[in-house]
Structures are given as C-alpha cells and as structure tokens.
Structure 1
Amino acid sequence: MNVRPHSLIDSVDADGTFASAFAASPTPMVLADAQREDHPIVWANAAFLALTGYDWEDIAGRNCRMLQGPLTDSDTVARIGEALAKGAPFEAELVNYRKDGSWFWNGLTLSPVRDANGTVTHYYSAQADMTGKRNLEVAMTHANQDLGRQVAEQTADLRAALEQKTALLHEVDHRVKNNLQVISSLMLLKARRTPEGEARDALNGMAERISALSTVHRMLYSAGDVTRFNFREFADEFVGDLVAGIDGDRTVVNASIDSMAVSAAMAAPLALMLHELATNAVRHAFPNDRAGRIGITAQRRDDALHMTIEDDGIGLSAGPPNPAGFGRSLVEMVVRQLRGTIAWSETNPGTRVAIRVPLDAVSLRDATADPVEEAPQWEK
C-alpha cells in the first residue's frame, strides 16, 4: 500500500502520471516532509515496502531512521543529518534493517525537493539493495587476500629453491675449481719429471689451460649471480698473470676490455679463446729475444663480443713448424660452437686475429661432435 505524495507534487502532476509512474517503479522510493518535525515519511511505493518488509501503516509518519540498527555506521548517519540540515543532496551505502530484523546494504540517494522560493519542502529518497554487490566485493577481497597469500607462499618457495640452487651452483663451481687445480698441479708435477721435449711442453700447455678454466670457476663461485660471468674481470686477471711471467722491457702487452656480463655457459669457451691466442702470441711472435707489442681488445657491439688479439711479431707464415700443436684448431672449434666468426690476417709485421661471438651464444658442445682439424705449423 502507498499514499499519494504531498500536494506540492500533486500541483505539478494534476493527472497523476508521475505519481503512478513512481508508485509502479521497481526502484524503492520514499518521500519525507522536510517542513514537519523529524521529517516524517509521507509516501512510499510498493518496491520500498517489499524491500523493507513493512506495511504502509508501519512506516507512515515515522522517520527513516527506523531502518537503522546495530551495524549501521554512525559516521554515515551523522553525514546524513548534516546534509539534511544544509538542504543538500547525499549518497551513501549503509546497513539498514527490515521489519523481520534481517539486515541489508542500502544504496541510499537523498534529493531535496524545493518550492518556487527555493525552500526545501520534502526529501525524496531512492533505495537499492546492494547486499549482493557488497557480498561480491567481500568475496573478491577474500579471494584476493587468499591469492596474495598463495603468491607470497609460492614466491617464498621459489626464492628458497633459487637460493638452494644458487648455493648448489656455488658449491659445484667451488669443487670444480678445486679439482681443476689438483689436476693442473698433477700435470705440472708430471711435466717437471718429464724430459724436455714435446711431452713436457704438452703437459705444461694443458696445465695452463686447466688453470684458466679453474680461474673461471673460482670467479663464478665468488660472484653473486652464478648465471653471469664478468669477462673483463677474468681478462684483467689473466693479462696480469701473463705480464707477470714475461720480460716487460722486451714484450709489452696492452689490453682494453669492456665490462660485460656473459652467460656462465660461455665463460669457459671465452677463457680458452683468450688464453690460447694471448699465450701463443707471447711464445711464438717474438723469437730470438725479439722485442714487440701485443694488443688485446674486447668490446660489446650489436649484442656481440668483438675481440681482437694482434702483435707486431714475425707473422703466421714465418713461424716454425710444430706438428704437435693444436691451439689454433681449438680456438676455431670454440668459435664455431659459439656461432661466431674468426678471421686470421698478416699485418706485416705481425698477426691479427678478429673474433665476433654473439652474446646469446649456446654453451660449448661436446668436442667429439666437431672433430679438431689438423693443427697449423706454428701452434703450441
């Protein structure tokens, strides 16, 4: 049941069209008299009665605060009072109660109705049951919280697994480094007890190569990121050791190495390349106490490592034959397996080796998959 609105509405709705439309609207609506004490309800439509469970006789002449209860937010109620006192519109969602005591979230809109003089004579209010929306929001909040907890737990598990993997890789590199050092020491010991000749030279050469690989694993072990290798740090240490073992007044080594991180899988191949080319230049470019210079550069350009090793020595063609050597073949094999390119050239005087290797190159494959070619005459 509902009653006709106040005569103010009747005066602009002589044929009852608006009143009939409001009465039949599915949107709960109520009208309160702003000029009477406590703003009593003077009209409500059937949708409002259905929402609240009240009959018209239960609410006629009463204030809408009858819908409030224990869960109704007092701050929102206070803001409603302030809006009414100012004659201002107001919107909010708050908990209201039905006649049977059940509560629901009420989406409330208050609109002042003014007369020709601008005086607020009534307050019109539209309602909406927002309980489903609120329940969905709560469910989504809980779901997001559960998801957040699951993500946090999985992240913690992944972090722990990564830490374990990192610790394992550190341990592997540490053990490999120790084992390589032992092997290198054994080979050097055997070399000292081997008569001078090709066998001793071969043992010393292999010991040096193994020592270079040991240095790589030591650096990987000490690095914070076991998946990346700082090529410049290795090159600086290698060149320092190389210079320390030669006569600096006779042979000058200049190195310019850019700081660049490469994948750990590329560390050993790059170390072998640098070791072979630099040590070959030191040992074979300047025979008979010839003085000279060696230049080593490594730069990152176009996502690739560009490395050159050049000297002003006797050149490739003038080198003495050495059928037992395989350094050049080793370098060329490594470059191919890293999908790179290598160019050897005579510079008159001297030799220049230019290498380009993509920095996303795959790791070194099994050497048996790419047989070593016959070594050139000059190699050690």
Structure 2
Amino acid sequence: MTDTAHQAVPAALAQTTLASAFSESPTPMVLTEVRGGAHPIVWANAAFLALTGYAWHELEGRNCRMLQGPLTDRETVARISAAVAEGRSFEAELVNYRKDGTSFWNGMTLSPVRDATGAVTHYYSAQADMTGKHSLEVAMTLANIDLERRVSEQTADLRATLEQKTALLHEVDHRVKNNLQVISSLMLLKARRTPEGEARDALNGMAERIGALSTVHRMLYSAGDVTRFDLREFADDFLGDLVAGLDGERTAVSAAIDSVAVSAAMAAPLALMLHELATNAVRHAFPDNRAGRVSITARRRDGALHMLIEDDGVGLAAAIPNPAGFGRSLVEMVVRQLRGTIAWSETTPGTRVEISVPLDAISLREAADTTAEELPQWAK
C-alpha cells in the first residue's frame, strides 16, 4: 500500500473518526467557539463532564469562566485572556471548581483552531486534574520545612554540646598544665637539695620533660582549636628557652620547622621526642667545651611529618656513656607509638637522626593505651 493510498481517506470519515476518538478519550477536552469574544462551550467529552460534575445541558453555551472561584489566580486568568485575544496557544495550572463546589488543580493547554483563511474560529482545551501533584508538592514543602526545623534544632544542640566539650577540654588542659608545673617545680626543688650526681641529673631531666608536657597543654589551652596542635609554635617556644641557656658563641642551634597542625593526641609524644633529641644533642654532642652546631628541620610531605636532627659533634660512638640515661630509648618508644620510623647514623663529624611519622598516626584512645603498654620500657 502506497503513501497516496494512506492519505486518500475521505474527509467525512476522518472527521467522524477524530470526533469519536476525542469523545471517548480519557483526557478531559472542551471546545469553545470564538463568537464576539464570548467563547461559548460548543462541545465537551465525557471525561470533561466527569471532571467538572456538570451535565452537558448545564455547560452548553456557557463560558469556561464558570469553573473559576475564590482561589483561582487572577493573574493566570489575565494571561489566559491575553493569549486568547492574541490567538496563540497557552499552558497553565490554576484552581477551578466543580459543580459541587469542590476545588481542583486544573492543568490545561489551550490551542487555537483556524479555518482555511487562518482566522481563529474555535479554541480547543485539554485538561488534567493536577490536584494530586499539588498535594504532593505541599506535603513535600511541609516535610522540608519540618526537616529544616529539626536539622536546625539538632545543629543548635550539637553546637551547644561542642561548645561544652571545648570548654571542658580547655579546663582539662588548664588543670593538667597547672598540675604538671607543680610537679616539675617539686622535682626541681628536690634536685637542688640532692647532691650532685646521677640522682640530681635524673631529677632535672624528668623536670624538663614534664615542663615540655606542660607547655603542650598550655598551648592547647590557649589555642582556639583544642583538637589541633601546631608543632612550630611549640618548637619556637621550647627552642627559645633552650638557646637562652647556651653559650651562643660555642653552640649554635638552627631550626626550620613547618607550621604543621597535628592532632592533640600526637602533641605530647612529638613534644617529648623533639625535646629529647634537641637537649641530648646540645648536652652530649660537644663535651669538653667543644664548639658545634645543631640543626633541626621538620617538613610535611606525603601525609607524613619528616624530621631531621643533625649535629657536628663527637658522634654516638665517642659520646660519654651515661648508664642512667634513657633518652634514646624514650625517643625510639615514642616513634613506635606514632607508628613511624627512625634511623640513627654517624656522620663525619657528628650524628644524624631521621624520623618519619604519619600525621594520622594515633588517636586519643590509642595514645592512652599505647603509652600505658610502653611505660615499663622507659626505665630500661
């Protein structure tokens, strides 16, 4: 069968077929006639009658404005009138009313019907009941409002809890700092009353280590974020005190430390490690008034903290033995605690210590558990 054969459908049959299809369609449809601007209804299908609740004799010859009511949007109505006056198509959703007075959201499309000369003779409109869609939108809007309210309330609660926790951490750090300072002062007082020798040296050394821990808690207390610790700030503070007690003409200390923010759980172990390596270098690398230098660098690279401590002293092998000392054991224990690596090496002259520690090495719980497990080794 050719295309010509498909097109050769009698006009009367085509009109009858279209009329039957529109009449039986489940989509509400209505046709108005352009007659002096009155636009009376001249045809409506059964679906339109079912949607509006009117019988045909109640609609025939009347204008679709009869479906409007108190909640019908006047601006939308004005836009519809303008489109019809200009003979163009239009789509809109607005509130209409059934015969029984109940409202529904009507999604309509208006299309002009033209004659052979192009003049608009009728307007055809397809309707759709959009009430369910709008009810869902209203429900979703109300749900979103309620959700936003709940989120806002929970956020406020969390913020208040966080503020309380932060205040508590500040208070804990403040009290720990004060207690450590008292303990350090007591140990220094005892050291001054202890005869010179290993016992006094041990007391002084422990007092300095406790002082380093006190500095950590002081910085955590004074910082805006009690969960973070800036290694460079601690190093500047600690090394400033260390250099102040040295003969600058004999021993030079240089430091290049990045501003690396580490977790509060890593603060104490790193502070102990830096304290131990720096003080051991200036005290034991240059015996017999030997001049020398100590350099300390700390860089953040590839998610890890890389530290390098070098001196041009006598070296590990030539250093004076200290049976009571445990500085090296302490440093190695701290590096293990932080899941890092450490390498000691002799240079010509001096000693080189390389340390690498992952910056997410340890949590607060792990810090407490690991330190408790390692404590017996401190005395070895």
Instruction: Give the TM-score of the pair, scaled to structure 1.
Output: 0.93
Map of 2:5 onto structure 1 = none
- How far the C-alpha of 1:367 sits from its partner, in A, is 3.9
Give the 5 Å matches for 1:1-380. 16-363=16-363, 364=367, 365-370=369-374, 371-372=376-377
Is the CA contact (8 Å cut-off) linking 2:337 and 2:371 kept in structure 1? no
Amino acid at match of 2:377: V
3-state SS in 2 of match to 1:321: coil
- How far the C-alpha of 1:36 sits from its partner, in A, is 3.9
Cα-to-partner distance string for 1:68-107 (whole Å, 9 max, x where unaligned)? 0001000000001100110010111101011111111111
Cα-to-partner distance string for 1:358-379 (whole Å, 9 max, x where unaligned)? 111115344452342776xxxx
Is the CA contact (8 Å cut-off) linking 1:27 and 1:47 kept in structure 2? yes
Taking a change above 3 Å as real, the CA distance of residues 187 and 277 of structure 1, as seen in their structure-2 partners, is: same
- How far the C-alpha of 1:55 sits from its partner, in A, is 0.8
- How far the C-alpha of 1:250 sits from its partner, in A, is 0.8
Is the CA contact (8 Å cut-off) linking 2:33 and 2:122 kept in structure 1? yes
Map of 1:3 onto structure 2 = none
3-state SS in 2 of match to 1:201: helix
Q: CA RMSD in A?
A: 1.5
Q: d(CA) in 1 for partners of 2:259 and 2:14? A: 88
For structure 2, the 5+ residue unaligned runs are 1-9
Cα-to-partner distance string for 1:156-207 (whole Å, 9 max, x where unaligned)? 1111111111111111111111111111111111111111111111111001
Is the CA contact (8 Å cut-off) linking 1:346 and 1:352 kept in structure 2? yes
Cα-to-partner distance string for 1:4-50 (whole Å, 9 max, x where unaligned)? xxxxxx97666511111111111110000013441100000111111
Is the CA contact (8 Å cut-off) linking 2:190 and 2:203 kept in structure 1? yes
Is the CA contact (8 Å cut-off) linking 2:337 and 2:370 kept in structure 1? no
Q: d(CA) in 1 for partners of 2:12 and 2:260? A: 83
Q: Which has the larger helix fraction? A: 2
Q: d(CA) in 2 for partners of 1:314 and 1:301? A: 31
Taking a change above 3 Å as real, the CA distance of residues 12 and 168 of structure 1, as seen in their structure-2 partners, is: farther
Is the CA contact (8 Å cut-off) linking 1:13 and 1:19 kept in structure 2? no
Q: d(CA) in 2 for partners of 1:271 and 1:121? A: 91
Q: d(CA) in 2 for partners of 1:360 and 1:174? A: 25
Moved runs in structure 1, 4+ residues, more than 3 A? 10-15, 363-368
3-state SS in 1 of match to 2:129: coil
Q: d(CA) in 2 for partners of 1:131 and 1:306? A: 66
Cα-to-partner distance string for 1:246-270 (whole Å, 9 max, x where unaligned)? 1111100010001111111000000
Cα-to-partner distance string for 1:127-167 (whole Å, 9 max, x where unaligned)? 11111111011001101111111111111111111111111
Is the CA contact (8 Å cut-off) linking 2:30 and 2:126 kept in structure 1? yes
Taking a change above 3 Å as real, the CA distance of residues 267 and 374 of structure 1, as seen in their structure-2 partners, is: closer
3-state SS in 2 of match to 1:325: coil
Cα-to-partner distance string for 1:219-250 (whole Å, 9 max, x where unaligned)? 11111111111111111111111111111111
Map of 2:6 onto structure 1 = none
Q: d(CA) in 2 for partners of 1:182 and 1:283? A: 25
Q: d(CA) in 2 for partners of 1:207 and 1:37? A: 101
Amino acid at match of 1:64: C
Is the CA contact (8 Å cut-off) linking 2:338 and 2:358 kept in structure 1? yes
3-state SS in 1 of match to 2:161: helix
Size of the aligned set, in residue pairs, is 366
Is the CA contact (8 Å cut-off) linking 1:32 and 1:123 kept in structure 2? yes
Deviating more after overlay: 250-259 vs 356-365 = 356-365
Cα-to-partner distance string for 1:330-350 (whole Å, 9 max, x where unaligned)? 000111111111111111211
Is the CA contact (8 Å cut-off) linking 2:105 and 2:131 kept in structure 1? yes
Q: d(CA) in 1 for partners of 2:49 and 2:280? A: 99
- How far the C-alpha of 1:280 sits from its partner, in A, is 0.5
3-state SS in 1 of match to 2:210: helix
Q: d(CA) in 1 for partners of 2:269 and 2:13? A: 93
Identity over aligned pairs, percent: 78
